[in-house]
């Protein structure tokens, strides 16, 4: 889970400095366009499984995820250290997360307490895992398309949206081992008509977003030293969209955050990748209002209108 490495760091800091502090704390159809490439990796997401090849090539690939379920889904890739297995991840990271979330959900501990539990349960090797992106949040019936470059190794693909009972989708079956082979695709990255650069302070957009098919390059230029990594998700905004609800929902550690049903129609995006990496995501836009939103920084919203 992408949040955990940073939470472990945060847990240590909080336990040292603030251990006694108490926490106050009809949908349009958007079929994203295919890029012209020879390496498409299809992912079918439903409640609560991924159907995807277990061995995929390295290099650039376009991931195309159809959400055939009712709930929101995404996938996020974690590259494991060489000596670590999928089972190690599930029994180490997954279990630590469950041990953290359940008492928090039940009101037994506050957020600071939750971080403390997490920090004391995460395996040490997790600091050497690499957070390698994925397709942003996709509502039921929608498709997300994201192109990214992966290096060979063993990965975990998971979704950590929560079901109504608060269980993570990864706990319910949405977690797959993926081997990225030494054999690489010969694919080049797609041509983007717009670029977004993510830093801790800004989300800079260059280029024009148009009616119809768009390919947006997302440059990961910076991540916070502590906390979550910068990411980006696209939502459709209409008269029923409450941006405060969206902000609340994007914080997984809120009760009801990242919990289906979501506060808007999600159309994909790109999860955090290491600094210096670029992901590309496709979107087919019609006239109307949209917004880019993020898990990090919480509250980051950039609305825009397609005329
Ligand atoms: Cu899911």
CB-based neighbours (< 5 A) of ligand 1, an ion: 73, 159, 161, 169, 174
Single out the residue in 158, 184, 210 at which a domain terminates.
184
Domain count, the chain: 2
Residue 4 lies in a domain: no
Question: What CA–CA distance (Å, rounded) separates 244 from 298?
Answer: 11
Ligand 1 mean position, distance from CA 280 (Å): 21
C-alpha 19 to ligand 1 mean position (Å): 33
Give the pTM.
Answer: 0.86
Helix (H, G, I), strand (E, B) or coil at 266: strand
Same domain, 151 and 222: no
- Low-confidence residues of the chain, pLDDT below 70? 1-37, 226-227
Q: What pLDDT, on a 0 to 100 scale, did the predictor assign at position 297?
A: 86
In whole angstroms, give the CA distance from residue 282 to residue 171: 29
* 104-112: long-range contacts, CB 8 A cutoff, minimum separation 24: 104/253, 105/166, 105/255, 110/22, 110/23, 110/25, 111/23, 111/25, 111/253, 112/14, 112/18, 112/19, 112/21, 112/22, 112/23
119 in the same domain as 22: yes
Q: How far is the CA of 303 from the centre of ligand 1 (A)?
A: 25
| Boundary (domain end) residue, out of 184, 210, 244 | 184
- What is the span of the domain harbouring residue 146? 17-184
Same domain flag for 61 and 97: yes
In terms of domains, do 164 and 224 share one?
no
Residue 38 CA, ligand 1 centroid: distance in Å: 27
Q: How many CB atoms lie within 10 A of CB 161?
A: 24
Q: Tens of pLDDT along 28-72? A: 444 554 444 579 999 999 999 999 999 999 999 999 999 999 999
Q: Is residue 277 part of a domain?
A: yes
- What is the Cα 256 distance to its own chain's centre? 17
Which residues are CB-contacts of 107 (< 8 A; sequence separation ≥ 6)? none
């Amino acid at each position: 889970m992408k949040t955990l490495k940073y939470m472990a760091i945060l847990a240590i800091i909080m336990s040292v400095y603030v251990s006694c502090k108490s926490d106050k704390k009809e949908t349009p159809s958007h079929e994203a366009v295919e890029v012209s490439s020879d390496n498409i990796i299809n992912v079918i997401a439903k409640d609560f499984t991924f159907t995807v090849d277990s061995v995929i090539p390295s290099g650039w690939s376009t991931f195309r995820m159809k959400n055939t379920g009712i709930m929101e889904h995404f996938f996020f890739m974690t590259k494991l250290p060489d000596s670590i297995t999928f089972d190690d991840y599930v029994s180490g990271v997954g279990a630590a997360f469950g041990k953290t979330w359940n008492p928090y959900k039940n009101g037994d501990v506050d957020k600071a307490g939750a971080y403390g539990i997490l920090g004391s349960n995460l395996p040490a090797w997790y600091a050497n895992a690499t957070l390698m992106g994925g397709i942003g949040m996709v509502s039921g019936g929608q498709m997300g398309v994201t192109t990214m470059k992966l290096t060979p190794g063993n990965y975990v693909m998971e979704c950590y949206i929560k079901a109504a009972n608060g269980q993570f989708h990864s706990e319910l079956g949405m977690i797959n081992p993926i081997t990225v082979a030494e054999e690489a695709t010969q694919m080049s990255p797609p041509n983007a008509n717009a670029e977004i650069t993510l830093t801790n302070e800004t989300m800079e957009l260059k280029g024009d977003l148009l009616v119809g098919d768009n390919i947006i390059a997302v440059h990961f230029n910076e991540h916070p030293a502590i906390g979550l990594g910068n990411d980006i998700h696209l939502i459709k905004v209409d008269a029923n969209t409450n941006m405060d609800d969206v902000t609340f929902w994007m914080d997984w550690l809120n009760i009801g955050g990242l919990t289906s049903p979501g506060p808007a129609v999600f159309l994909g995006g790109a999860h955090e990748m290491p600094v210096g990496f670029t992901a590309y995501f496709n979107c087919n836009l019609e006239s109307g209002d949209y917004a880019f939103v993020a898990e990090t920084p919480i509250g980051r919203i950039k609305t825009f209108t397609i005329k």
